[in-house]
Structure 1
Amino acid sequence: MTALASPPPARLDDASRGLLLGALGVFIFALSIPMTRLAGGTAAAPQLDPLFVALGRAALAGLLSAAYLWLSGASRPRREQWAPLAWTAAGVVFGWPLLLGYAVRHVDAVHASVISGVLPLATAAMAALVLRQRPSLGFWACALAGLGLVIAFAWWRGAAGFQWADGLLLGAVLSASAGYVGGARLSAQMPPQQVICWVLVLSLPITLPVAALTWPAQPIAWSAWGGFLYVSLFSMWLGFFAWYRALAIGGTLRVSQVQVIQPFLSMLLAVPVLGERLDAMTLVFALAVIAMVWLGKRMPVETRP
């Protein structure tokens, strides 16, 4: 008797694979804020210097990137691509990690996660300015509402006053949004996974010497080194591989929707990683910010002629 042939296993389509990879990238990035605080410690119990965490992670990822580019036989960027690479580096290698690292020395990761929740809207607004897009009034209303929510949250958590760390966090958001837009433009001109690698290699003449000069002289807890390795290998490097690949195969508009949940994941992960407490009012603010981001990303955006 002839056995019935089993059907071939079902394969995920590009859209589904893109969403899965996008979710993986978002999960990796969501751990960045808790792991940055773990690496740097607090003002009362400092660990690694935030300058070392920020530029040391880029130096380690830059060395790995140089090896990857060499082994993969990547072509050198064209002359006109070096300026966008430098712009991207200013945002994602220097601005975001430095400002975030100093901020989370003074506010907890849950707090920082709520403030950074407006990053998708800030990125969309930056893209509108740089890429000559015309967002609808509904988008700008959602963007202003989201900004108003994080300002209100910062005021409430600061006991009717702002903390200077909140200004650093908003600066970090602006830096990251500029870097993301620069990276997105370059991803249309070269393989997406090479963008972050060239950005990191371009930054090595600064990041490597600074990392060496700020290498800790005092003993550091193993948990802090673990946080540093995470932000070096995953947040600064491998997370971009998953994220850019997801955008390429699943479509930017569809996959980028997954990023809406990133601040919520960051808050949830800060509880087991750092032992922080998630109170009801913080959760309400976070959900309100997420709702504004979700609405804003659904608003129409036109490209200017």
Structure 2
Amino acid sequence: MTAQDSATPNATIAVNDGTGGTDETARSGTLLAVLGVVAFSLTFPSTVWGLESFGPWSFVAARSALAALIAGGFLLALRVPVPERRHWGGLAVVAGGVVVGFPLLTTLALETSTTSHAAVVVGLLPLTTAAFAAVRTGRRPARTFWIAALVGAAVVITFAVQQSGGALSTGDVYLFGALLVCAAGYTEGGRLARVMPGWQVIGWALIACLPLSVTGVAVALAFEPVHLTGHGVIGLAWVAAVSTFFGLYVWYRGMASIGIARASQLQLAQPVLTLVWSVFLLGEQLTPAAPVAAVAVLVCIAVTQRARG
């Protein structure tokens, strides 16, 4: 752990706006955030695999429970003290947003939506997160930042509409709801990662949800039959260990280093990566518009990463 991971009992929660720190800190923070994006980009394909074996409710509950056991093992082994009472409100937002809300809503959406469609809709997450961060922290990124973010969002929306033929489905409603709750969870997690290590942020959020997760597994399995397959087991293992625990750990560390708004723009690349995985892992057909959208999104990422708050 670095000095940045430690905090005194009276430390004040602060958010890096991406303007301070050394070049080395910025590079390492960007690398951590990129690792988180790669981990997240495989979440939708892994979820589709998991749904081969589990129902949506039992899959989400088992995902959370397994991730909580992994996190709990680390917390116990390292004898991590329980967070101060003043941090539990933020941890509750993280739990509700990224442990329960986003996984549940996106899993329900993937029952009717393709992975590629879900990926481009959730591509709006960077802009949503930046907006939440601006309201929550009071920091205002530069105008260039917002212009590039809006252009990136417009590209994502256009691509999503083209993919769906201009009609929104029930799955889209789930996905838009997932955007809101996840952005709130990312924002609070990024703030808390300034006063405790990122893996402890997601770890304690998972532990807080453990009673609900275990109850959910018991209830859901009674109504949803399980048909174990290799894909199903791999999908569940990935979303529990990597997407939910490791991915969020490096993601929150990255946000703490380079700022919530700037880190969130790296997720503009996530839909492109997920489209690639959907082709190689799920055999979905990639539309001709995908390469065009990919180039436009990457340009927006380059602009937002150069913009100063």
Task: Specify the TM-score bucket, using the shorter chain as the normaliser.
Answer: 0.7 to 0.9
Q: Residue 70 of structure 1 aligns to which amino acid in structure 2?
A: L
Aligned to 1:31: 42
Q: Secondary structure at the match of 1:112?
A: helix
Displacement after TM superposition at 1:84 (Å): 0.7
In 2, distance between residues paired with 1:183 and 1:196? 8
Displacement after TM superposition at 1:274 (Å): 0.8
- Show the 5 A alignment for 1:124-203: 124-203=130-209
Aligned to 1:214: 220
The reply to whether residue 85 of structure 1 matches residue 91 of structure 2 is yes
Q: TM-score, structure 1 length as denominator?
A: 0.83
The reply to whether residue 240 of structure 1 matches residue 251 of structure 2 is no
The count of residues paired between Structure 1 and Structure 2 equals 283
In 1, distance between residues paired with 2:79 and 2:136? 31
Higher alpha-carbon deviation: 60-69 or 151-160? 151-160
Q: Secondary structure at the match of 2:140?
A: strand
Unaligned runs of 5+ in 2: 1-23
Q: Residue 82 of structure 2 aligns to which amino acid in structure 1?
A: R
Spell out, residue by residue over 1:60-81, the C-alpha distance to the aligned partner (whole angstroms, 9 max, x if none): 1112212211111111111111
In 1, distance between residues paired with 2:38 and 2:153? 24
In 1, distance between residues paired with 2:294 and 2:180? 19
Spell out, residue by residue over 1:265-305, the C-alpha distance to the aligned partner (whole angstroms, 9 max, x if none): 1111111111111111233334434444543454443xxxx
Q: For the Cα contact (< 8 Å) 2:123–2:267, is it kept in 1?
A: no
**Could you say if the C-alpha distance between residues 162 and 289 of structure 1 is closer, same or farther in structure 2, counting changes exceeding 3 Å?**
farther
In 2, distance between residues paired with 1:50 and 1:290? 33
Q: For the Cα contact (< 8 Å) 1:56–1:211, is it kept in 2?
A: yes
Q: Residue 39 of structure 2 aligns to which amino acid in structure 1?
A: I
Displacement after TM superposition at 1:94 (Å): 1.3
Q: For the Cα contact (< 8 Å) 1:122–1:177, is it kept in 2?
A: yes
Residue identity over aligned pairs, in percent, reads: 36
Which of these residues, 292, 303, 307, is aligned with residue 295 of structure 1?
303
Q: For the Cα contact (< 8 Å) 1:121–1:297, is it kept in 2?
A: no
Unaligned runs of 5+ in 1: 1-12, 42-46
In 2, distance between residues paired with 1:224 and 1:35? 8
Q: Residue 53 of structure 1 aligns to which amino acid in structure 2?
A: F
- Show the 5 A alignment for 1:239-278: 239-247=247-255, 251-252=258-259, 258-278=266-286
Q: For the Cα contact (< 8 Å) 1:96–1:173, is it kept in 2?
A: yes
In 2, distance between residues paired with 1:252 and 1:142? 17
Aligned to 1:44: none
In 2, distance between residues paired with 1:28 and 1:20? 12
Q: Residue 46 of structure 2 aligns to which amino acid in structure 1?
A: M
Displacement after TM superposition at 1:18 (Å): 4.5
In 2, distance between residues paired with 1:138 and 1:283? 24
In 1, distance between residues paired with 2:158 and 2:265? 25
**Could you say if the C-alpha distance between residues 91 and 287 of structure 1 is closer, same or farther in structure 2, counting changes exceeding 3 Å?**
farther
In 1, distance between residues paired with 2:227 and 2:74? 32
Q: Residue 275 of structure 2 aligns to which amino acid in structure 1?
A: M
The reply to whether residue 230 of structure 1 matches residue 238 of structure 2 is yes
**Could you say if the C-alpha distance between residues 283 and 184 of structure 1 is closer, same or farther in structure 2, counting changes exceeding 3 Å?**
same
Displacement after TM superposition at 1:221 (Å): 2.5
Aligned to 2:5: none
Q: Secondary structure at the match of 1:172?
A: helix
RMSD of aligned Cα (Å): 2.5
Displacement after TM superposition at 1:179 (Å): 0.5
**Could you say if the C-alpha distance between residues 21 and 133 of structure 1 is closer, same or farther in structure 2, counting changes exceeding 3 Å?**
closer
Which of these residues, 103, 119, 125, is aligned with residue 119 of structure 1?
125
**Could you say if the C-alpha distance between residues 173 and 298 of structure 1 is closer, same or farther in structure 2, counting changes exceeding 3 Å?**
farther
